[in-house]
Structure formats: structure tokens, C-alpha cells
Chain A
Amino acid sequence: MIELQAAVSGALNGSLFALMALGLSLAWGFLKVINLAHFAMILTAGYLTFELATSTGLSPIATIVATVPLMFVVGALIQLGYERFGVSELNSLLISYGLLIITVQVVTNIWTADFQRLPTEINPYASESVAVGSLRFPMPTLLAAGFAVILVVTSALVLERTYAGRALQAFGQDREIASAFGIDHRLLGVLLAGAAGASAAIAGMLFPIGGTLTPDLPFEWIGQVFAIVILGGIGNVTGTLYAGLLVGAISGLVAVIWTPSTSPFVVFSLVVLALVFRPKGLFPQKGG
């Protein structure tokens, strides 16, 4: 029973990380960009959510009206920069690492390194949950799971059903062939990066609903989020969601069966094993 509750709580927690991983995985798979600035966008969106919600008294969820368009633009602009300078996959990793540490410092200088939590008055979700029998689904991570499912299903549909999506897939597989088919890869890439930015804004809104903001959070996220990207398969959106749920459930289970300190050991050993034996992820796509 406790194992079931722990697995459920863990899996829901993992869905938030899956949401963080989604944009990263898409950009990596289709644009060949490893954008650590994605974490900077999540962090900034988290602080903006905190700032907007506390200053206006609005529900934190309502703040996405502002943060989603903003992060769409930021994500698109960063991608334009990568395009402009013809940045390679590895160099994008280094450059975005630079952007990330700049953001961490700027956020520290603005909001201080102190813990920031949404006050209970505007964030009732922190202590709420949905009960099904004796199982409890904590509201903050349930919201994250809801958004994660919506975004993952939408991305999967767009990628498979629309012309732009199929063009992106072609582009991800072979840039030259895709260009030959007359796809404006720059525009598509910028739009995709914008969408990834928008997903970062949503993840950034969800984090402070359940957690405490500090500027060095990205460094705590990086390990787990990359674990999910790799286990899910790079560019595989549904795989990312499954991997998030799986990693979360395993962490939760390991935490109650052994100790929480054992979880990172198990999760990252799993990552190494997956890289060695299943480099394309645990959930191979049809025909992939």
C-alpha cells in the first residue's frame, strides 16, 4: 500500500521533470541543439510566476498568460542566435551553459539567494490533493501531470499529423534532404524553439506551486532531466513522458523500500545502463 502511494507520488513528481525535459528533448532531436538555456527559461519563468502572483494576487496558473508568450519569444530568439552563428551541437551545449550561469547569477542578484515560496493565500494547491480510495494524488504534481499529458499529446499529434510536424521529422533525420524538399527549416526551427520556450514557461509556473524557489535549482534539475531525456529517447515526446513517470516511480519506490539517499544512485546507474544497452531510449518509436 505504502509502495503504491510512493510510486504514485513519485510518478506524478516525475511528470514535472518530464515537462521540463520535453522542450530540451525536442530541440535536441529536431534542431540538433542541446539547449541548457532551457533550464534558465524554466527558472526565470518560475521567478516571474512568483513575482506576478505575489504582486497581483492572481492565481499562479493565471500567470502563464504573460510568461508563455514571453518565453516563446525568448526561446525563438535564442534559436535565431544559434542559426545566425551556425552553432554546432556541442558548441550549443557550451554556449547555453554560459547563458544558464548568467541567468542564475542575474536571478540571484534580483531575487536574492533566499528561499522563495508562494504564500498559501494565493497558492492553495500546495497542501491539496485528490483522493481516490485511500490513494492521494497531490495537487501540485497532479497539475504538472495534467499539463505534461496535454503538452505531450499535442506535440505528438503535431509531429505526426501536420505537414509542419512531418517536415520537422524529416529535418531531424536529414537536414540536406529536408532542405531539398523546400522546407523553410529556419522558420520551423524558430517556431519549435519558441514552443519549447513556452513549455519551459509552463514548467516554471508549476514548480513554485509545489516547491521552493532558489536560484541554483537548475543545477539540481540537470541530472534528473537529462536522465529522463536519455531514457525517453532523444526527440521522442511520448517516451519522455513515460521516462519521467518511470524515473519518478522508481525514485519513490527506492525511497520507501531503501532510503531516499539511494534514489540518485539507482536512477543514475539506470541511466548509465540505458546509455550502454539502449542508447536510443527505453521506448523506441515505431520504425525508429
Chain B
Amino acid sequence: MSRRASILALMTAMALTIAACAGDTGTTTTAGAEGTTTAAPGTTASPDTTAAPSTTAEGSGDPIVVGGTLSLTGAFAATGAIHKLAGDMFVERLNAAGGLLGREVEWNLLDDESDTANIAPLYEQLISQDQVDLIMGPYATPNILAAMPVAERYGYTLPQHTAVLAPLMTYACQFPGWSIGPEPNSFIPNQIADALDSLDGAVSTVALLTNESGSTAFISYGIADDPEDPSTLNILPERGYEIVADIPYPPGYEDWGSTAAQVRDANADLVLINGLGVEANSLIEAMQQLDYRPPLMFALFPAPGPLLGLGDAAQGTLSVSIFEPNEPILEQMDPEVREIVEEFAERAAAEEIPYTVFETQAAASWNAWEILAQGVEGAGSTDGQGICDSLHSTGAELTFSGAVTFDPAVNNFWDTTEGLKQIQGTEWVMVWPEDIAAGTLAGPTG
């Protein structure tokens, strides 16, 4: 008897589930209470399933729909939330100023669940089913690489925030919002060496740790199948810095204790961890357990908040940035920048985003949106090739990175404004290069 009841319950549950999720597809939520412009890819977007794709509804007053995914859940969700908020803010300001081509802009944002395998199908869906007018790239290098072939197949222009693997970004109509130049694998180690040179010989040995995934391994070792490619491993010795330990580790690595012992024994002046997320935190704590504190630390792409949370142990740690809202920098920039930074901090706090500072990630996001908007205005339409051509010929004027130009010969990676930031007190401070610095580079301790 109870078995039959259970089966009935299962039946009902299944039917309800399917009915529920099927039934909800028709709703489109726009501009919610907290300014969310996320729209479900409602099937209402294409009521006539046999309609031909249309991107030529000029002047019709219909909104221009920008499709894209971000990692709203999963491993990249923390950063995904920053990009979502930055994008929301940009779209609101754009619409408040009259939109694009006189039309309102709507952002159709899907969740890729931090899973690279979801990216291509979702962009296919956005373009072919939802028939969005424009697309915005996802977050994280592998995801952007996955979205790129789709954009290329449909001839859509793809602005993107954060792809580091410049040589692989071969589609002529992808435009980076965060550029470390065409050769990040050469630029970053050289910039580090420049900064170290200024310390008058305080640093001579380096321990190198590398997360063996896309962007970080590229900076450490260059392109995988070319040992001659510029890389941290090649350039630092050329610049007179001896690499005394070279430790690659897999993503998801947990056993930091033994690695910390190895780093301690290498006894380098600089511990350089080309890692992601909280790996630098784990390493610092493991080294603390061994009563070891390296004279100087550098972390390539850390989650910014948790490192600040370590307090004294992380003081002086260096990283890369294209923008930090340090007071001296804000004073030099357009007052709008301060407005954006303050609004972001307020809304990030309200949305319980753990790290509320509008810094390099948010700035990269803002850049990408500006590139898209200026491309559309330059082309006078939402035609992918038109936007692409316009950007190639006139470049873009970016609030956070100034005037930039795009050269397809170097995959559109513009001359970088990237610098080094350092934990000083309770905030990240731009310290290098000196012309954009808000503080002074602090040398090794002890």
C-alpha cells in the first residue's frame, strides 16, 4: 500500500517538476528591485518559431538585447558576481543616458555554472534561439576560449573581460577588456623584473610556483608545446634573478604542507606564485606553520579579499592590476570614476558580495562593455562585422584604461596599462610602474 502511495508521489513530483520548469520559461524578468537586468531566455523572445534571425530592426524602438553568460554558481561564482554587478551598473547608466542608437539595452544573462562545457551550447542558444543582437563574453580564460568559436561561426563581435592566453585568442572580432599586451608571458615577468630592479639588489633569488591551468601555466612556462616561448622561467634568469625552485601543482591542490617545506628550504628572496583563487592564502598559512615568512611574495591572480583577510601575514604581497581605486588615482581621474566606485561598493555590500572594492576585475568588465557600446555607436548598427570594423579602425576610449587601439595582427590585445599592486595596511595599493603608482613599492622584509 505504502509503495503504491510512494509511486504516486513520485509520479506527481515528476510531472509537477517538468510542468513547473516548462511553464516558467515564458517569463522575462527585467530590471528587478535591485537593478537586475537579467532576463530569462524567454521563449517569448521568439514567439514565431519559424522566424528568420533578424538583427536589422533599426529604429524600431525594440530593445537591443545583449546575450552572455557568467559563472553565477560554481567555482568562479565569486568573480562572476563582480562582473554581473559591474555589467548591471553599466547597462543602467547606458540606458539612463539614452541607450544605444536610441534604443534601450537589455542584458540577457545566463549562468554557465562555472562549467566550460556549458559555454558553447549556451552561446549557441543565445544567438540562434534567443536571437540576441549582441554578445558579451563570459568570465575566465577557458570559458572565453569556449565562447570564441561560437561567436566566430555566427560573425558576432565578442568583447571579453579577462582572457590571458592572448596567442590563442585568434578570432579577429574578439576584443579584450583587460589586456596584458599581446605577450603577457613576456610582459608580466619583465614588469616584475623592472620592479625588482628598483629595489637595488634586495632580491636576487626567486621560488616559482605554478598552477597548471590555462592562464597561470602560460605566464610561467609560455605556450605549452614551445620551450623557447618567453616565460617567467626564461626571462627572470635573463634579467639576473635566479630561480631556485620551480614547483608546478595541479588545480585543486590541497597538500600545501610539503610544498611550503620545499619553498622554505629554497630560501628565496621572492616567492612568486602564479596561482588562482585562495592558493596564495593556503601557501602563506602553510609557510606560517613552518615559522617561515618569505621576504617578498607575489601572487598572480588571487582572490583579492581573502589575502587582505590574512592581515599581517600577507603584508607586502604583490599582484597585478589594471585599476585600484586608491585615493591618489581617483583624484587624477574623471569624477565619474569615483561615482562608479562608490556606487559599486554600496551595491556590492547590499548584495553581500564579499569583496566590495571596484578593482581590476570590475574595471575589466567596464572596459569590455565600453568597447561594445562604442563599437555599436561607431558602426551605427548591431551588425557584428560592422562593430568589428569600427573598433579596428577607431579603437575605443576607456574610462579606466584610456584610449586604446586594436590590431588584429596581435589578436587585438592593446598596449597594456597593467601595473603591480601591493598589500599595504588594509588595502591593495598600486605601486608600479611609478608614473601610475599611488604608493611606494615596499621591498623585502627581514
Whether the complex brings A and B within 8 Å at their CB atoms is answered yes
By a beta-carbon cutoff of 8 Å, the part of chain A in contact with chain B is: 1-2, 5-7, 9-10, 12-13, 108, 112-115, 117, 119-120, 126-129, 131, 136, 138-141, 210-212, 214, 216, 220, 248, 251-253, 255-256, 259-261, 263-264
Residues of A within 8 A of B259 (CB): 255-256, 260
CB distance from A156 to the nearest CB of B (A): 27
B77's contact among A2, A113, A141, A255, by CB below 8 Å, is which? A113
Interface size on B, residues (CB 8 A): 42
Q: Is the CB of B255 within 8 A of A214?
A: no
Residues of B within 8 A of A120 (CB): 309-311
Among B87-95, B285-293, B405-413, which stretch is in contact with chain A?
A: B285-293
CA distance A12 to B290 in the complex (A): 14
Contact A13/B254 with A115-B277, A126-B285, A127-B289 known, Cβ cut-off 8 Å? yes
Q: Is the CB of B73 within 8 A of A261?
A: no
B74 interfacial contact with A, CB 8 Å: yes
Residues of B within 8 A of A112 (CB): 77-78, 81
Q: Is the CB of A138 within 8 A of B289?
A: yes
A259's contact among B78, B247, B277, B289, by CB below 8 Å, is which? B247
Q: 11 A-B residue contacts at CB 8 Å?
A: A1-B265, A2-B262, A10-B255, A113-B114, A126-B288, A127-B285, A252-B257, A255-B249, A255-B259, A256-B262, A260-B250
Q: Is the CB of A117 within 8 A of B309?
A: yes
CB distance from A195 to the nearest CB of B (A): 26
B227 interfacial contact with A, CB 8 Å: no
CA distance A210 to B402 in the complex (A): 43
Other A-B pairs beyond A9-B286, A128-B289, A260-B247, 16, CB < 8 Å: A7-B258, A114-B78, A114-B81, A114-B354, A115-B277, A115-B303, A115-B306, A117-B281, A117-B309, A120-B311, A126-B285, A127-B285, A127-B288, A127-B289, A136-B291, A138-B286
Q: Is the CB of A108 within 8 A of B73?
A: yes
CB distance from A51 to the nearest CB of B (A): 14
Residues of A within 8 A of B74 (CB): 108, 113, 216
B311's nearest neighbour on chain A, judged by CB, is A120
CA distance A273 to B354 in the complex (A): 45
A125's nearest neighbour on chain B, judged by CB, is B289
**CB-CB contacts below 8 Å: B204-221 with A:** 212
B223 interfacial contact with A, CB 8 Å: no
**CB-CB contacts below 8 Å: B69-123 with A:** 71, 73-78, 81, 114
Q: Is the CB of B75 within 8 A of A214?
A: yes
By a beta-carbon cutoff of 8 Å, the part of chain B in contact with chain A is: 71, 73-78, 81, 114, 212, 247-250, 252-255, 257-262, 265, 277-278, 281-282, 285-286, 288-291, 303, 306, 309-311, 313, 354
Residues of B within 8 A of A127 (CB): 285, 288-289, 313
CB distance from A166 to the nearest CB of B (A): 35
Contact A252/B309 with A128-B289, A260-B253, A264-B250 known, Cβ cut-off 8 Å? no
A interface: dominant SS: helix
A220's nearest neighbour on chain B, judged by CB, is B252
Q: Is the CB of A136 within 8 A of B290?
A: yes
CA distance A263 to B253 in the complex (A): 10
CB distance from B302 to the nearest CB of A (A): 11
Residues of A within 8 A of B249 (CB): 255, 259-261
Q: Is the CB of A6 within 8 A of B290?
A: no
CB distance from A216 to the nearest CB of B (A): 6
Residues of B within 8 A of A9 (CB): 255, 257-258, 260-261, 286
CB distance from A32 to the nearest CB of B (A): 23
Q: Is the CB of A13 within 8 A of B257?
A: yes
Q: Which residue of A114, A139, A263 has the most chain B CB atoms within 10 A of its CB atom?
A: A114
Residues of B within 8 A of A220 (CB): 252, 254
A261's contact among B248, B260, B285, B291, by CB below 8 Å, is which? B248
B250's contact among A115, A117, A128, A261, by CB below 8 Å, is which? A261
CA distance A236 to B288 in the complex (A): 35
A253's nearest neighbour on chain B, judged by CB, is B258
Contact A114/B77 with A120-B311, A264-B250 known, Cβ cut-off 8 Å? yes
B262's contact among A129, A216, A255, by CB below 8 Å, is which? A255
Q: Which residue of B253, B258, B289, B303 has the most chain A CB atoms within 10 A of its CB atom?
A: B258
Contact A113/B73 with A10-B255, A211-B282, A253-B258 known, Cβ cut-off 8 Å? yes
Q: Is the CB of A113 within 8 A of B258?
A: no
CA distance A114 to B355 in the complex (A): 11
A260's contact among B75, B81, B248, B285, by CB below 8 Å, is which? B248
Q: Is the CB of B291 within 8 A of A211?
A: no
The 9 closest A-B pairs by CB, nearest first: A9-B257, A252-B258, A6-B258, A127-B288, A113-B77, A138-B289, A260-B249, A114-B78, A129-B289
CA distance A141 to B257 in the complex (A): 9
CB distance from A101 to the nearest CB of B (A): 13
CA distance A140 to B354 in the complex (A): 25
Residues of B within 8 A of A126 (CB): 285, 288-289
B313's nearest neighbour on chain A, judged by CB, is A127
CA distance A263 to B212 in the complex (A): 13
CB distance from A121 to the nearest CB of B (A): 9
Q: Is the CB of A212 within 8 A of B278?
A: yes
CB distance from B189 to the nearest CB of A (A): 20
